[in-house]
């Protein structure tokens, strides 16, 4: 009887996974001049002081679900802002801010896709509303969803100071030489990072360090997520990434991809740290 129950449960999970959609939503910004974005300075001293293992999981809000909306860029921007605001002393505990604000208010985006450069720039200019004040309504929407912006009705926190590339951006061609060691140093010394990646095959990921092919071609970037950790000492060194496909996907909402194997999934192609004002 136990075997039958296990088989039924396995079949149910497989059917649910087959039925579920895994939206992305990365659309490279046509407005942001990325040549104007400053590059974080990674010194030799920082590289030498970078630990072999980092995990910022205790500095995160709960895993979110972008649903049927192509709003990965908003979730990546907001999740990284949440971590930066908490680690910068603006919240006593990790606190959720509004993704819906970006979906509704960043011109031309909504559920049709966007870029973390635009998302973070919006938060800097207009401020951040709490998720409790401006809750998510777009996760069940169709890709063309676009709501009216309600931010004028909200109290906002204007504490985002700016953003920098953690490592030089690779926006075209083969990016397999991107500097993963510098990215690890940026993550270790500055906290979680907003990244846009090639998520090929991620919908089939169930756990462990991903084995499926996931290349480092800039033109394959299709999804934005949050880089939250790495391990160089594991039997299979890995990057730990927070996704926005709910906590029943992957490893409770996270994925691990190979570290130091030619910039797998373009993990170091577009990576932005968020700077906040002093508390």
Quote the CA–CA distance of 133 and 103 in Å, as a whole number: 15
Quote the CA–CA distance of 206 and 204 in Å, as a whole number: 6
Quote the CA–CA distance of 269 and 172 in Å, as a whole number: 9
Q: For the purposes of burial, counting CB atoms within 10 Å of the CB of 99, is it exposed (0-12), middle (13-18) or buried (19 or more)? A: buried
Examine the residue annotation and report whether 68 is marked as an active-site residue of this protein: no
Examine the residue annotation and report whether 59 is marked as an active-site residue of this protein: no
Catalytic residue among 68, 69, 198, 243: 243
Quote the CA–CA distance of 106 and 163 in Å, as a whole number: 17
Examine the residue annotation and report whether 198 is marked as an active-site residue of this protein: no
Quote the CA–CA distance of 112 and 121 in Å, as a whole number: 18
Residues 279, 228: contact at Cβ < 8 Å? no
Catalytic residue among 72, 105, 170, 269: 72
Q: Within 13 A of 59's CA, how many CA atoms are on the CB side?
A: 24
**Active-site residue set:** 72, 223, 243
């Amino acid at each position: 009887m136990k075997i039958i129950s296990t088989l039924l449960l396995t079949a149910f999970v497989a059917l649910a996974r087959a039925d579920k959609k895994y939206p992305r939503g990365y659309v490279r910004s046509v407005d942001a001049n990325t040549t104007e974005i400053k590059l974080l300075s990674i010194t030799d001293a920082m590289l030498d002081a970078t630990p072999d293992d980092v995990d910022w999981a205790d500095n995160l809000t709960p895993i979110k679900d972008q649903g049927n909306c192509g709003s990965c860029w908003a979730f990546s921007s907001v999740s990284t802002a949440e971590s930066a605001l908490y680690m910068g002393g603006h919240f006593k505990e990790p606190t959720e801010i509004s993704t819906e604000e970006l979906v509704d208010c960043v011109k031309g985006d909504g559920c049709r896709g966007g870029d973390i450069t635009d998302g973070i720039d919006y938060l800097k200019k207009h401020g951040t509303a709490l998720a409790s004040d401006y809750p998510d309504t777009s996760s069940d929407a169709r890709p063309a969803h676009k709501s009216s912006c309600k931010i004028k009705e909200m109290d906002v926190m204007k504490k985002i100071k700016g953003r920098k590339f953690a490592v030089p951006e690779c926006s075209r061609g083969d990016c397999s030489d991107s500097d993963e060691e510098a990215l690890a140093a940026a993550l270790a010394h500055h906290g979680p990072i907003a990244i846009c990646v090639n998520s090929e095959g991620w919908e089939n990921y169930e756990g462990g360090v991903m084995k499926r092919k996931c290349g480092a071609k800039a033109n394959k970037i299709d999804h934005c997520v949050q880089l939250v950790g790495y391990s160089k000492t594991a039997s299979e060194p890995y990057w730990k990434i927070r996704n926005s496909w709910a906590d029943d996907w992957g490893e409770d909402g996270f994925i691990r991809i190979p570290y130091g194997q030619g910039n797998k999934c373009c993990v170091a192609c577009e990576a932005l740290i968020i700077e906040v004002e002093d508390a």
